[in-house]
Amino acid sequence: MKKLVLLAAATATGLFTACSSTPNKSAEFKSYRNPASTDELITGSQKVLSDISNPQIFNPQTCATFVNKVTDYLYYLPADHFIPKTSFEQENLKKFGPEVLDTIFQIRVTLHEKMQEFDSRNELSKDCITEIREGFQYARFSEEYLLDWLYTNKVYTFKKTPIMINEKPSTWTNPKFAGFELKSGDVMLIRGKSYVSAMIARIADEEGNFSHLALVGEDKAGKKYVVESLIQYGVIVTPLEKWRQAEDSRVALFRSPDQALAKKAARFMYDHAKAALDKKKGIHYDFAMNDDDYSSIFCSEVVRMAYDKASAGQFMVPKYRSTVSKFKNTDYPRSLGVTKTSLFAPYDIEVDPRFDFVAEYRFMPLLRQVRMQDSVLQSLYGWMIQKDYTFHWAPQHSVKAYFAKMVRQFGVAKDTLPKYMPVDSIKTNVQFEAVAKVLEENIYKQEAEFYKKKGYLPSFQDMLAMNEAYRVQDCKLHREYLDQNRTVDGAPSADSSKFHWFFYNKSKKCE
């Protein structure tokens, strides 16, 4: 992975103020930088928006380089770079923060439109797509960090609304779709709140902010439903207005400009799912994430099958797929059932230029939680890839004792899981959730102490550092246990480590 810390800009209230230079970057970006000034925060982000809209500056040839300079710059900034440090700066950010949010959101809208424009001329390169993916992530988490700051400082107040209600601060809308209503065939890109869905969604090399896809279906009377596939239940159908009352941390809405095709896709998928449910058979969740076989269906496959069948195979989603190669030296993701080298990750829809980006909804109480979950999963995956961590089976433990210890110690596996879920998938999910729960508890504690001391929330980088410090601490506790039991006669001492007794690298080194 080019950058493990894809969310480093969570500290940045001005993601694109900074589309400036790192010390060795070219001079043309230097004019954007003055993060101590809210005025510069506003004018800098506006300058970047202007540059992206200027084909002399941002075009198919400069796309990857331009976006990469932005993300590289932000990646290496100190964690508190954009935090207002004086009462004057704080008041300025309270006043102009909403304008900054609007500008950063519009940068995302414009990047998506530029991607569509380049693709229409067959000039959209793989490098450009890769960097735009990364740019979307940095922008989104910068928006959310600023949004969190504005809520904390009473600029915004939280009010629970239905998903995709067309009003701020719950939903930001592409100006071209002002006053939108949900339509049949709309695709909703969702970030759920469970570790299981996030694990599967982040299995690809290309990483994103989302873990789930759902489709707005339609029955023959024109009534709208949401068709989706959930790990617990397989494919389900929910009346649209009931579904909109759910609590998901973020939902991005994408729409096909071909409304005739979208309506046909919506009708097909509703009829297909409802027929299976009426027969009391349903459609199983596809743990292999094999979108070439529709006998079982995972979340992204709902959208793929709908548009495939509606177009008689002429419109296959997504246009640009994710790859699976970063876990080369481990049994993961094979242990989850995934054997393909490419797949349709939910967030691939975000870089499919055949869909318009309409709007994005956020549920504030969950944003903090999923930000922590993302940091935990990022750390776990990073340790597996960079430090060769893996889950180890202890032969002296029976299967029953092994899982009993897991359940007693961590209280995991609380969610309903289907009977047909592969045993290896269950074990892998339980193992991941066991470690994740320990790290999450530590993050919550550390976050409270961090905020009390500094007056603002930790960045994504800060949280990764907290996870790493905890890993080293837990590893040393396990090392002490091993060393003591090699030299002490009699009953062995207790292992006080929280997870290194089953998740560690073969060298058992703590560096």
If pLDDT is split at 50, 70 and 90, which confidence band does 79 have? low
Q: What's the distance, Cα to Cα, between the start and end of the chain in Å?
A: 21
Q: How many CB atoms lie within 10 A of CB 486?
A: 7
409-420 confidence digits (pLDDT tens) = 454 544 556 777
Element housing 391 (H / E)? strand 390-391
pLDDT at residue 432, rounded to an integer: 86
Distance CA 52, CA 48 (A): 6
Give the alpha-carbon dihedral of 13, 16, 21, 26, to 10 degrees. Answer: -170
3-state secondary structure 246-259: CCCCEEEEEECCCH
422-432 confidence digits (pLDDT tens) = 777 777 887 88
Give the alpha-carbon dihedral of 218, 219, 224, 228, to 10 degrees. Answer: -60
By residue count, the chain amounts to 511
Domain boundaries, the chain: 8-157, 171-362, 366-504
Average pLDDT value over all residues in the chain? 84
Written as six digits, the tokens of 9 are 């800009």
- What phi-psi label fits residue 127: left (phi over 0), alpha (psi between -120 and 50 degrees) or beta? alpha
Distance CA 495, CA 499 (A): 10
Total-model pTM: 0.88
pLDDT at residue 229, rounded to an integer: 96
- What phi-psi label fits residue 193: left (phi over 0), alpha (psi between -120 and 50 degrees) or beta? alpha
pLDDT at residue 35, rounded to an integer: 42
CATH topology of domain 171-362: endopeptidase fold (from Nostoc punctiforme) (3.90.1720)
pLDDT at residue 17, rounded to an integer: 30
pLDDT at 193 over 50: yes
11-35 confidence digits (pLDDT tens) = 333 333 322 223 333 333 333 334 4
469-503 confidence digits (pLDDT tens) = 999 999 999 998 888 876 555 556 678 899 998 89
Q: Residues 18, 71: contact at Cβ < 8 Å? A: no
pLDDT at residue 115, rounded to an integer: 98
Q: Is the peptide bond before 169 cis (omega within 30 degrees of 0)?
A: yes
Stretch 63-88: mean pLDDT, rounded? 77
pLDDT at 399 over 60: no
pLDDT at 5 over 80: no
The phi, psi pair for 38, rounded to 5°, reads -65, -30
pLDDT at residue 468, rounded to an integer: 97
Closest CA to 215 of 261, 178, 173: 261
Outline where DSSP puts E strands in 126-197.
Answer: 171-173, 187-191
Q: Is the peptide bond before 333 cis (omega within 30 degrees of 0)?
A: yes
- 208 vs 190, higher pLDDT: 190
- 98 vs 81, higher pLDDT: 98
pLDDT at residue 142, rounded to an integer: 82
How do beta strands 356-362 and 390-391 pair?
unpaired
Q: How many CB atoms lie within 10 A of CB 276?
A: 17
Cα–chain-centroid distance for residue 302? 19
Q: Residues 189, 357: contact at Cβ < 8 Å? A: no
313-331 confidence digits (pLDDT tens) = 999 999 999 999 988 867 8
pLDDT at residue 408, rounded to an integer: 42
